[in-house]
Amino acid sequence: MSNLPTGATFNSIQSVSINSSAQSNLVGHFGAAGVGGGGYEAFVSSSGNVSVLPSVPVATFFHCSTNSARDSIAVGGDGARIGYRIDSMGVLSPISMPGGGGTLLASALNDSGLAVIGGPGYAAVVQPNSLTPGPSLSVANINSVAVNASGNSLLGGVNYAQFFDSQGNSIASVSLSGGPTLSSVAINDSNLSLIGGSTAGPVPYAGLVNLSGMPTLLSGLPSNGMIASVDINQFGYGIIGGQDGDTTSAYASFVDPAGVIYPISGLPIGTGASINSVAINDWGVALLGGTLDGSTAYAALVSPWGGITPLSLNAPQVIYSVSIRNFVPSNDLSGNNLAFAEYIKDYARNKIVYFIPSLLAGTLNEALESAAPTRNAASLFTADNNLFYLNHSLSTHLRNHWHFRNRKRALSQAAPAASSEIEPLLTESDVVAGCLPKRRSLQGCQPMVSCEEDRPYSFWLELIQARAFQDAQLQTPGFQASVGGGVLGFDGQIGEEVQAGLGMAYTFTHIHEKEGSGFSDLHQEYAFLYATWSDQQMYVDLACWGGAMQIHQVRNIYMTGWNFVSTSSVGGWQLAPHFEAGADYVPNKECIGPVKASAHWSANPFVMLDWISAWQERYQEKGSGPFNAAQKAHYSSFLRTEIGLRFYEPITFQAWRLVFEEKASFVNKTPFGVGKISAYLVGSPGSFTVETLTKPQNLGAVEFGIIMEPLDHKYPYGSLSYQGEFTTSSQLHQATLEVSLDF
């Protein structure tokens, strides 16, 4: 930082404070004492820019505090107590102090603007927006003060600790044993407090205490040394720091809400090594400040599980004061986990407590992934894929029926000549195997009036079974979806080249999330219209699907120390146009002689497009846990493109025909907002956005089918097919059974 005081012996920063927006206050002294120097105050922005405030002549500020509104208080003195309120614009307003000499060493300020100040022989409450302290609370020598959101305060000093309410009324005196001098006190919004100092010897002294006034002394402390500083977060996890005289080293330990200490290793060792100031945020991240050897500054960040990161400093000999805000311990966080953690920090701080055991166990990423509703996106992703299955089934019917009608038409339009020389060419198997429809006008196949009974209408039924396997991605678990359903359709011929129809469909899906993360059940109902045009060489299919979906979701939330379940039910709508175009290529273009069974093959290059639009309704999860989420109403779309080649090989027998079908194709699936979730936690403001399943997929697809056709077309025909789509992160398998009857 620039603009800091330099040059004279008494230049120093005595105290620092930071708020939730990373805006800081610095106070101290500049210049030699009594020789043109004075109290130094400055604001520091979140980017590190220092704004020096007007100085106070011939004084030293020893302590400062700032709140979330960036209002501050600074106290100190040089022979007389001084105190100033500093507003967010940097304007200093002096607090009226009672007469008499002295110095103020400690201050505390809550977000409502209530302040507590203290020093040797004096302490007082200063009400919000007031510049006049209340009556003195104590004549003890006060070294440290703390105040919480409700205005309850704790004062600590020489063999003294006492709780007061916001009006300065005594709540309870803390029962101290051994006559300790308390160097530092801290209190959280639940009135759980941490005190620290030393008894004669010196012997380190520290304990947890609530408004009952009966402390729980910490065991396991060094037998020689002192506790110089303490802090406690909103969830009862604390930090203490000072000196370990047993090992001649700096000392610091975490303290859990039960009063169990967890010493921090890796601290400076040697004469003069000391931790002078500590701070801990609600995520359990601690900041330590002090000296390596009495002449070299030392500071370090400590992770909730004890990992220590010394900071590179260009600083004076000693760090007197440190402060830390509620930043997310994000070194190992990214993507959705970081976005969710930032939301927790900014809007749902009361949820942080549930992550503390995970922080201590080093499983924060896993806890955030489990608590976030990101994986609910799998339901809509699967619902869209189900509609792709249905469109594929419709395509299967139209292609099977197109080939069926073409082969029937080839038979009915082949002309038997009167001459017995041509008669052998007109057996059914010969015509089907060797003759094309009359529109190709191939030599040897003569048109005639149809001898086949006209059957312009078709009634068809398809049963679908599908399985999808999706690997984990973007900090969401993998899942598998099992789909079962059916399609019922009716169509009719409009002239010789157009076929149009309508139908309905239903699917049920069960999604099983891996790692026991939960499950979803989906019900989807559809109606659809379709039409196809063909001239026996080319075809164009058009369809439009519309339907409703109902989703029931269950999220199992597993975190170190906690298990919760959140459930939700959500509805929505889908609309999906379908397009396919292709051609039919038959290499055998001449009629052949009579045989009992004959075969030829044909090829069908094609392109297919499906575009699904989905409207998902707003929903709110229910459950006894703290991570029930609500998602806003959501629109998304999903584009599927397929280009490929089908092959057909019919084998004709005396009374029926067997057709084998194979397909190879390339499939691209591009989602637009399908996996994007804008949500908030129930009972908390703000919102967060997480994303998964958002990347386009390129898949290779294969299909194998068998079509069974009777030569007497008054009987139904059927088909059984399998399609698989494959990429490195997912697989989709679909089996379709169709029965169709022309009449």
- Indicate which CATH number applies to the domain containing 189: 2.120.10.30
HEC string for 503-565:
EEEEEEEEEEEHHHCEEEEEEEEEEEEEEEEECCCEEEEEEEEEEEEEEEEEEEEEECCEEEE
Q: How much is the pLDDT for 33?
A: 45
Render pLDDT for 235-270 as a digit per residue (tens, 0 to 9). Answer: 899 999 999 999 999 999 999 999 999 999 999 999
Cα–Cα distance for residue pair 45/25, rounded to 1 Å: 9
Model confidence at 415, pLDDT cuts 50, 70, 90, reads very low
3-state secondary structure (DSSP) of residue 674: coil
Strands (E) in 103-222, as ranges, are: 106-109, 115-119, 122-126, 142-147, 153-157, 160-164, 170-173, 181-187, 193-199, 203-209, 216-217
Strand pairing category for 676-681 and 688-691: antiparallel
Say what angle helices 364-371 and 335-347 make with each other, to 10 degrees.
Answer: 80
The tally of domains found in the chain comes to 2
Q: Residue 699's beta-bridge partner residues?
A: 667
Note whether 279 and 404 are same-domain residues.
Answer: no
HEC string for 502-520:
EEEEEEEEEEEEHHHCEEE
Instruction: Show which of 327, 360, 388 is a domain's final residue.
Output: 327
The mean per-residue pLDDT over the stretch 76-87 comes to: 88
Neighbours of 366 (CB within 10 A): 17
Rounded-to-10 torsion of CA 139, 145, 149, 150:
-20
98 located within any domain: no
Note whether 216 and 296 are same-domain residues.
Answer: yes
Note whether 487 and 612 are same-domain residues.
Answer: yes
Q: Which two tokens stand for residue 623?
A: 């459950």
Model confidence at 122, pLDDT cuts 50, 70, 90, reads very high
315 located within any domain: yes
- Considering the entire predicted model, what is its pTM? 0.73
705 located within any domain: yes
381 located within any domain: yes
Measured CA to CA in angstroms, residue 516 lies from 355, 473, 511, 512, 556 at distances of: 20, 16, 12, 8, 7
Model confidence at 52, pLDDT cuts 50, 70, 90, reads confident
The mean per-residue pLDDT over the stretch 388-407 comes to: 85
Cβ-count burial of 224 within 10 angstroms (0-12 exposed, 13-18 middle, 19+ buried)? middle
Render pLDDT for 575-610 as a digit per residue (tens, 0 to 9). Answer: 999 999 999 887 754 443 333 344 478 899 999 999
Strand pairing category for 203-209 and 216-217: antiparallel
Note whether 215 and 309 are same-domain residues.
Answer: yes
At residue 346, does pLDDT exceed 50?
Answer: yes
Cα–Cα distance for residue pair 287/268, rounded to 1 Å: 15
At residue 422, does pLDDT exceed 70?
Answer: no
At residue 743, does pLDDT exceed 90?
Answer: no
Cα–Cα distance for residue pair 346/341, rounded to 1 Å: 9
The mean per-residue pLDDT over the stretch 452-473 comes to: 89
The mean per-residue pLDDT over the stretch 10-39 comes to: 71
Measured CA to CA in angstroms, residue 339 lies from 333, 343, 347, 673 at distances of: 9, 6, 12, 17
At residue 611, does pLDDT exceed 60?
Answer: yes
Question: The domain that contains 735 carries what CATH number?
Answer: 2.40.128.130
Instruction: Show which of 312, 327, 342 is a domain's final residue.
Output: 327
Note whether 255 and 381 are same-domain residues.
Answer: no
Note whether 196 and 310 are same-domain residues.
Answer: yes
Model confidence at 713, pLDDT cuts 50, 70, 90, reads confident
7 located within any domain: no
Model confidence at 156, pLDDT cuts 50, 70, 90, reads very high
Q: How much is the pLDDT for 330?
A: 66
Cβ-count burial of 489 within 10 angstroms (0-12 exposed, 13-18 middle, 19+ buried)? buried
Note whether 468 and 606 are same-domain residues.
Answer: yes
38 located within any domain: no
Q: How much is the pLDDT for 226?
A: 96
Instruction: Confirm if 202 and 181 have CB atoms less than 8 A apart.
Output: no
All residues at 6 or more sequence positions from 419 whose CB lies less than 8 Å from its CB, including other chains: none
At residue 488, does pLDDT exceed 90?
Answer: yes
Cα–Cα distance for residue pair 291/318, rounded to 1 Å: 5
Q: Which two tokens stand for residue 462?
A: 């398809």
Measured CA to CA in angstroms, residue 576 lies from 527, 533, 614, 633 at distances of: 11, 20, 9, 19
Model confidence at 56, pLDDT cuts 50, 70, 90, reads confident
349 located within any domain: no
Instruction: Show which of 296, 327, 358 is a domain's final residue.
Output: 327
Best CA proximity match to 524, nearest among 575, 453, 561: 575
Q: Say whether the peptide bond before residue 357 is cis (omega within 30 degrees of 0).
A: no
Model confidence at 413, pLDDT cuts 50, 70, 90, reads very low
Q: How much is the pLDDT for 5?
A: 61
704 located within any domain: yes
Cα–Cα distance for residue pair 288/311, rounded to 1 Å: 10
DSSP 49-62: -EEEPPPEES--EE
Note whether 389 and 283 are same-domain residues.
Answer: no
All residues at 6 or more sequence positions from 718 whose CB lies less than 8 Å from its CB, including other chains: 707, 708, 737, 738, 739, 740
Distance of CA 580 to the CA centre of its chain: 38
Q: Which two tokens stand for residue 66?
A: 């700032």
- Look at the block and give the residue holding tokens 């509609």: 387
Cα–Cα distance for residue pair 690/692, rounded to 1 Å: 7
Q: How much is the pLDDT for 428?
A: 43
Q: Which domain holds residue 251?
A: 175-327
Rounded-to-10 torsion of CA 312, 313, 318, 323:
-80
DSSP3 helix / strand / coil % (the chain, rounded to 5) = 10, 50, 40
Note whether 481 and 611 are same-domain residues.
Answer: yes
Model confidence at 652, pLDDT cuts 50, 70, 90, reads confident
Q: How much is the pLDDT for 171?
A: 96
Note whether 282 and 398 are same-domain residues.
Answer: no
Note whether 294 and 392 are same-domain residues.
Answer: no
Note whether 289 and 404 are same-domain residues.
Answer: no
State the DSSP H helix or E strand holding residue 356, giving kind and residue range, or none if neither.
helix 356-361
